[in-house]
C-alpha cells in the first residue's frame, strides 16, 4: 500500500471530523443564543420602554436572531452534493465501488469546501452574537444607569 493510498482515507476522516465539529459548535451556539434571547425577553417585560433602551435592545435581539439564522443555514443538510453519501445514493453498487476507488481525492476536496463554508458561517454567527450581546449589554447598563 502506497503512502498516498494510506493518506487519502486519513485526510477524508479529518475533513469529516471537521464537519462534525462545526455542527457541534453550531448546536452549542444556538442553545446559547436561545438562552440569551429568553433572558432578554423576560427582562424586557419589566423594563421601561424608552427609545434609549429600545434601540440597542431591539438591535441586539435582531442580531442574535440573525446569528441563529446563519447557524441554522450552516447545519441545513446539502443533499444535492456530489460527494459522499448524497452522490452514493444516486449510484449502483458497482458505480459506488468505482467512485470510492477513483474519486477519493475529489470527495476530500468537495467535503473540505463544505467544511470551510460551515466554518465561515460559524465565524459570522459568532461575530453577530458578539455584536448582539454587546448591544444588550449597552441596554442593560443604560437601564442600571436610569435606575440609579
Q: How far apart are CA 58 and CA 64, in angstroms?
A: 10
Would you say residue 23 lies in a domain?
yes
How long, in residues, is the chain?
148
Under 8 Å between Cβ of 64 and 132: yes
Domain that holds residue 77: 11-147
Query: What is the tally of structural domains in the chain?
Result: 1
Q: What pTM was computed for the model?
A: 0.82
Within a domain: residue 48?
yes
Q: 71-103, pLDDT tens digit by residue? A: 999 999 888 877 778 888 888 998 888 877 777
Q: Tell me whether residue 2 is in a domain.
A: no
Q: Is residue 114 part of a domain?
A: yes
- Greatest pairwise CA separation for the chain in angstroms: 75
The answer to whether residue 1 is domain-embedded is: no
- Whether 44 maps to a domain, the answer reads yes
Amino acid at each position: 500500500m502506497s503512502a498516498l493510498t494510506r493518506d487519502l482515507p486519513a485526510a477524508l476522516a479529518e475533513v469529516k471530523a471537521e464537519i462534525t465539529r462545526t455542527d457541534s459548535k453550531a448546536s452549542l451556539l444556538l442553545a446559547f443564543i436561545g438562552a440569551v434571547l429568553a433572558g432578554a425577553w423576560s427582562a424586557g417585560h419589566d423594563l421601561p420602554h424608552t427609545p434609549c433602551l429600545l434601540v440597542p435592545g431591539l438591535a441586539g435581539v435582531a442580531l442574535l436572531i440573525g446569528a441563529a439564522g446563519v447557524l441554522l443555514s450552516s447545519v441545513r443538510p446539502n443533499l444535492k452534493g456530489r460527494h459522499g453519501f448524497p452522490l452514493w445514493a444516486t449510484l449502483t453498487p458497482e458505480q459506488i465501488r468505482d467512485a470510492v476507488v477513483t474519486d477519493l481525492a475529489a470527495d476530500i476536496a468537495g467535503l473540505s469546501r463544505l467544511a470551510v463554508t460551515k466554518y465561515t458561517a460559524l465565524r459570522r454567527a459568532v461575530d453577530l452574537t458578539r455584536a448582539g450581546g454587546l448591544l444588550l449589554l449597552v441596554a442593560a447598563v443604560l437601564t442600571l444607569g436610569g435606575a440609579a
